[in-house]
A and B are shown apart, each in its own frame.
Chain A
Amino acid sequence: MGRGVSEAEATSGPPLLEVSHLTLRHLGEERSITAVEDVSFRVNRADRCILLGPSGCGKTTLLDAVGGFIVPAAGEIMFRGRPVAGPGPDRIMIFQEFDQLLPWKTVRQNVLFPLFASRRCERREAERRATHYIEMVGLSRFAEAYPHTLSGGMKQRVALARGMAMEPDMLLMDEPFAALDALTRSRMQDELLRLWENVRFTMLFVTHAIDEAIRLGNRIILLSPHPGRLRAELAGDGRDDPDAGGTRPSERIHAMLFAGDVGQEEASADG
């Protein structure tokens, strides 16, 4: 019932998100396809948790399930101590597709829309948040522009502002920068980290790019494909420096993802 941070779920409480022995299946015409099998992990508040894996590892399916769009075939997803029952404004999704903005609304109206639609807050507070977060992503000058007049990077920044303005318990990000050019993507990654420094939101971020995972995540969950299984979990500090043995995290991740059967080795937590 209670919204915002409350109850016993402060930093030391139970994890914000607890996924245990989760199996997800797509129901096909003839047979069902297992997208994710027996995956367990936790996300704590203010985590920048990355789901990393090649295509076919079910990472987007996994995100959809946390978002409440898919019902688990087995296992459970506990969010704030309760099983996920459906989509809700406490978990805001940010998509890769530029058409996630509603084209009939201006930037400001797009940011305001979920606040009103979910009856999250009254008008004055909504206006304040919209102004604040639009400024935060540097788009104040474009607040009254319609999305089709914006570049791809600007659209994704609006989506980010819209998601953050909801001040959700968790941002679910489905490769939000994948459709951007390399330069813009790099800028957006910096910007996302800067925003996180300011707001300390919790995010679950799906990507197939190892460099992006290392740069953005404080925790990286590796998934292997067909079906998606948990391969390893690593800690990250945003740098790709070699460890004592001279191996870079990116090399280690690469080896684990592609070097056939390395086994379910649990990598030591370290950058």
Chain B
Amino acid sequence: MAEPGAGPSPSPWQRAWRRAGVRRAAILLGLAALWQGYALHLNDRLLFPTFSATLAALWAGVASGEILARAWFSIHVLLLGYAAGIALAALLVLLALGSQLGADLLQTLTAMLNPLPAIALLPLALIWFGLGNASLIFVLVDSVLWSVALNTHAGFLAVSRTVRKVGRNYGLSGPRYVFRILVPAALPSILTGLRIGWAFAWRTMIASELVFGVSSGSGGLGWYIYENKSELNISAVFAGLFTVILIGLVVEHGVFETVERRTVRRWGMQH
């Protein structure tokens, strides 16, 4: 290990420190060390497992396939609800584009239901649809629908008069006009809506599973957390939380950012 040499050129350490990724990794390592130290000091394996025990539980869960299966269960149901929510949002926006009454309908419904956390509908959904995926999908649709519809509609309305005229000048009308002019021109807003919708849906999904608790026969990550809490298997609870965070990060930053980089940012429509 050579000490950084004094001189005008930055040392490898300084150069590495300039990278955001390196600094963030250092923060994570620091937090992990704090966690490990405190847990060792507390020495209460039941309530506050060490960081290494949590990692071991995460590894065991992944190796046995249980966490992956639970994660897949959550994602699977989530995607169903997400897709249904987007389809409904598309329908609402088409209505809103078609008539003033449709636009009023969309605005009224959004204003009413957007502030309501989707999870608050779960008790109703359980009564209407019983314990099972139908209830989950119902609340997921509600969590996705309003932000996607609102942003998409706002995006369409914000398409410039010039671009609209260009499209009509070329003889485009109806669905061809919508899909070849309006949708790409409104893509930044549409992606924002999809992104917010996904974030809402993911949080709603985990929360719903926690409310379901043990009464559900099978379940996803939320239930995995709940189940392990009931068995006081706290390191597995942490492992479940980690998985929730990881999946959220991968989708919100991996998937959506990649899509944005390849589309709206490449086209200079968003910076």
Name A residues whose Cβ lies closer than 8 Å to a Cβ of B. 67, 69, 87-89, 91-93, 95, 97, 99-100, 102-104, 113-114, 117-118, 146-149
Contact = CB atoms under 8 A, between A and B. Distances in A.
B172 A69 contact: no
Interface stretch (B100-108, B231-239, B262-270): B262-270
Cβ-closest 8 pairs across A and B: A148-B268, A117-B170, A114-B170, A97-B162, A104-B184, A87-B168, A103-B267, A104-B267
A93 B166 contact: yes
Nearest to B163: A99
A103 to B, nearest CB: 5
A250 B18 CA distance: 62
B176 interface: yes
B262 to A, nearest CB: 11
Contacts of A102: 163, 166, 181, 184-185
The B interface is mostly helix, strand or loop, or mixed, namely helix
B169 A93 contact: yes
Interface in B164-196: 165-172, 176, 180-181, 184-185, 187
Nearest to A97: B162
Contact of B160 (A89, A91, A97, A118): A97
Nearest to A149: B268
Given A69-B165, A100-B166, A102-B166, A118 B267 contact: no
Q: Pick the most buried of A69, A147, A149: most chain B CB atoms within 10 A of its CB.
A: A69
B171 A100 contact: no
Contact of A88 (B171, B184, B185): B171
Contact of B168 (A69, A97, A99, A103): A69
Contacts of B170: 89, 113-114, 117-118
Contacts of B268: 103, 146-149
A114 to B, nearest CB: 4
Nearest to A114: B170
Given A93-B166, A114-B170, 20 more contacts: A69-B165, A69-B168, A87-B165, A89-B169, A89-B170, A95-B165, A97-B160, A99-B160, A99-B162, A100-B162, A100-B166, A104-B184, A113-B170, A114-B169, A117-B167, A117-B172, A118-B171, A146-B267, A146-B268, A148-B268
A85 B127 CA distance: 57
Interface in B112-169: 160, 162-163, 165-169
A102 B267 CA distance: 9
Interface in B33-91: none
Contacts of A89: 169-171
Contacts of A93: 165-166, 169
A117 B173 CA distance: 10
B166 A148 contact: no
Contacts of A97: 160, 162
